[in-house]
Structure 1
Amino acid sequence: MDERKTPLFSEIAEASPFIEMPELDWSSVTHDLELSTFNSGMIIYQQDTVANYIYLVKKGRVRVDLYSYSGEYKSLFFASTGCLFGEISTIDGLPNRGTAIATVPSKVYLIPKARFQYEMSHNIQFCNNVALLLARKFRFLTAEIELQSFYNSYYKVGFVLTHLVRSYGTKTDEGYRLNIGFTHQEMASLTGLSRVSVSKILSDFKTRGIIDKRQGNIIIPDVDALYKMLLENVNI
């Protein structure tokens, strides 16, 4: 197996479900807006509704979930600093696909649709920012299709862990500490696995020394061991 052809070692490795783009300048639409605060667990908009705003995360984390008619859900992505969400509805005029919910206390700009549409028509830099963000989301969703189609459950959980390390890991003497509260249910909703399956896999990772848990935080003692495990579980 050529390592470069797996999601971990290809361009797909950059397609994390944790979308944070603080380098993008959105000041043309935010300079005169007040921030809205959403506490953890608050719903920002519901699936299949037409919202009056486009949303931009200033601080915090918002999860966008896709629900089935039976109430089951799959997490699409997590929006953090600099990430818009709800913009597709304004672009194509259709209802939002997904429910947006704050997973931690979050500060969010609510951008009126008319303002967004004006900037799209008159501001090339704003358009470039939107295009970059849409490309980022497209790369992730392409990676998600590949992950769900070709890779086994151990790979799926390990793949999410690598992105948690990239986005929220801090190097310590013990390894990489994940500075984020992340439940087994959230991992299940990202990977398409059951919570029980995720719990068993993480328990096995701990037994094998791939992860550890101290003071409520997950530790990755050796990232290379995590990468090796991924390669051992390529299932294509």
Structure 2
Amino acid sequence: MIKGRIRIYLLSPNGAERHLYIVGPGNIIGESNVWVDEAFGYNASTSSTARVLRIPKSSFYDIVMSEPKLIQKVLKSLSNKQSALLLQTRLMSFSDVGERVLTILRQLASSYGKETTKGTTISIPFTHQELAYVVGSSRVSVSYVMNELCEKGIIEKQNGRYTLLT
């Protein structure tokens, strides 16, 4: 992926979405299906204007296998996605909405954060609806949690960006 953000999700037979993860510039999409003979098991939707480079499966395999640094990048990508899926499973199984929101905010800060004098500012914009998809909740519940986190001094919103306060 060259530019933008893409949201990866599952779609149930009745049309319900289950968010898996978000990828940004420099990330790989679809690499898990290169080594197995399966159809893609997930959907992708842009969360912002995006620019991607599409490489056919056979070419991607040959390119990756000829470059050790690309093998490492693919393995890191797969490991990051596995970690995200394990986190999703843990959060959905054992956490309330507030804990899920705060955990995802920390994850976003870790991946897209810029250190400031106040804390870590998440450099990518996102809506409460997008966050609701991620945590498996409603936009209204996520908005309530975000307001509560602001009131408690855990986060701050400025110019459309959130900062996790230290």
1:214 aligns with 2:165: no
Aligned equivalents of 1:127, 1:136: Cα separation in 2: 14
The CA distance in 1 between the partners of 2:37 and 2:93, in whole Å, is 30
- Matched with 1:71 is 15
Which of 1 and 2 has greater Rg? Answer: 1
> What is the DSSP-based 3-state SS (H/G/I as helix, E as strand, rest coil) of the residue aligned with 2:60?
helix
- Describe the superposition over 1:189-232 as per-residue Cα deviations: whole angstroms up to 9, x where unpaired: 11111212111111111221222222322233x23xxxxxxxxx
Quick one: distance in 2 between partners of 1:135 and 1:91?
15
Residue correspondences, number:
166
| Residue 34 of structure 1: aligned partner | none
Counterpart amino acid of residue 150 in structure 2: K
Gaps of 5+ in 2: none
Which letter does structure 1 place at the counterpart of 2:156? D
In the TM superposition, what whole-angstrom CA distance separates every residue of 1:124-174 from its partner, at most 9, and x where no partner exists?
A: 543343223212211221222122222222111100111222222323344
TM-score by length of 2: 0.87
* Alignment root-mean-square deviation, CA: 2.0
Q: SS state of the match for residue 55, structure 2?
A: strand
Displacement, 1:122? 4.6
Verify: 1:110 aligned to 2:54, yes or no. yes
Summarize the Cα distance change of 1:155–1:88 in structure 2 as closer, same or farther, 3 Å threshold: same
Q: What do the CA deviations read for 1:75-119 (whole angstroms, capped 9, x no partner)?
A: 111112322111223322211122112212222111111202323
- Does the aligned pair in 1 maintain the 2:32–2:78 contact within 8 Å? no
Q: 2:24 aligns with which of 80, 89, 114?
A: 80
1:126 maps onto 2:70 in alignment? yes
Q: Offset of 1:120 from its aligned partner?
A: 5.0
1:180 offset after TM fit, Å?
1.7
What secondary structure, in the 3-state scheme, does the structure 2 residue paired with 1:134 have?
Answer: helix
Query: Distance between the aligned counterparts of 2:108 and 2:70, measured in 1?
Result: 29
Partners of 1:115 and 1:156 in 2: CA distance: 39
* TM-score, normalised with respect to structure 1: 0.63
Label 1:112 to 1:191 Cα distance change in 2 as closer, same or farther (>3 A).
same
CA contact (8 A) 1:63 1:103 kept: yes
> Is 1:177–1:217's contact at 8 Å kept on the other side of the alignment?
yes
Structure 2 counterpart of 1:176: 120
Per the alignment, residue 94 of structure 2 pairs with 150
Q: Taking structure 1 as reference, are residues 178 and 126 closer, same or farther at Cα in structure 2, changes over 3 Å only?
A: closer
Residues 218 and 135 of structure 1: CA distance in aligned 2, closer, same or farther (over 3 Å): closer
Q: CA deviation at 1:121?
A: 5.1
- Maintained 8 Å contact 1:119/1:127: no
Same amino acid, percent of matched pairs = 31
